[in-house]
Structure 1
């Protein structure tokens, strides 16, 4: 996509972040309390706690998003990645993921982890393609829909 750019979080896009995520969560799963907590107050619960949110933009339209939630120093969870249904199948997710991984490398993070579901075969394929490896899922995982944990070691 030649007009595709990536921009950092701006408060005016908080509602777009929420809507993009609710779109895919409702399509495949059930919206959980943790989703509402993060999506209703993304600036407070992600940005202000040392995390990051980025948006994929084509011209003036926000078409996707991704978040990094801080776990500990130099370890972040990649989450809340969504591409608007109208823009799926155009490799925007792959480009957004590549952008996010490069950001983590520039920040010299040690590791990026993510939780996903075995139902999301396209997403899992993309994660594996960029180097994420499956690791054991801890028993008390935050989201009921999480059936797989992956990590990418950057150092």
Structure 2
């Protein structure tokens, strides 16, 4: 099992890391090359991090010094149900266990907030991410949110 490098710190979003996190989400949008207008992504970025505010939500970043190199969010979508969003790690930091570290940390946040289930949507073409989610105990479920992309996959984990 790969351990995250010691120089990488996972922490809650702060005023100092908001712009870095927004930049990383924009980098994710460039990387994915899919129009996420159905998720109202421009509005989300304009009002970031409103969607992930405490106490029901959370947004975590992975930092290497001052640089934000990874992120993940959590938002409430129903009674006892939350959704993991925007898990992304910069290309040059991939394969070092940072994505798993962020996913583990956001699952802990969800448990601490009293959620009983966590959901997420991903794409089958993102095989590495889907494999990580399944390794973390997520199981495929039916569609629970609008997603017009052909290879969308929906997952849930009991917390």
- Determine which of 68, 76, 88 is the counterpart of 1:82: 88
Answer whether contact 1:116 1:145 (CA < 8 A) is retained.
no
- Determine which of 14, 20, 29 is the counterpart of 2:33: 29
Give me the TM-score of the superposition, normalised by structure 2: 0.85
128-137 or 68-77: bigger deviation: 68-77
- In the other structure, the counterpart of 1:111 is 117
C-alpha separation in 1, matches of 2:113 and 2:60: 15
Q: Which has the higher helix share?
A: 1
Answer whether contact 1:22 1:31 (CA < 8 A) is retained.
no
How many residue pairs get matched? 153
Three-state SS of the structure 1 residue aligned to 2:83 is strand
Deviation at 1:55, TM superposition (A): 0.6
Answer whether contact 2:20 2:67 (CA < 8 A) is retained.
no
2:99 corresponds to 1:98: no
In structure 2, the CA distance between the partners of 1:31 and 1:20, relative to structure 1 (3 Å rule), is farther
Deviation at 1:143, TM superposition (A): 6.0
Three-state SS of the structure 2 residue aligned to 1:55 is strand
Three-state SS of the structure 2 residue aligned to 1:11 is coil
Answer whether contact 1:38 1:46 (CA < 8 A) is retained.
no
- Determine which of 131, 141, 145 is the counterpart of 2:146: 141
Q: What's the C-alpha RMSD, in Å, of the aligned pairs?
A: 2.1
C-alpha separation in 2, matches of 1:36 and 1:142: 16
Structure 1: 5+ residue runs without aligned partners? none
Answer whether contact 1:75 1:112 (CA < 8 A) is retained.
yes
Give me the TM-score of the superposition, normalised by structure 1: 0.87
Structure 2: 5+ residue runs without aligned partners? none
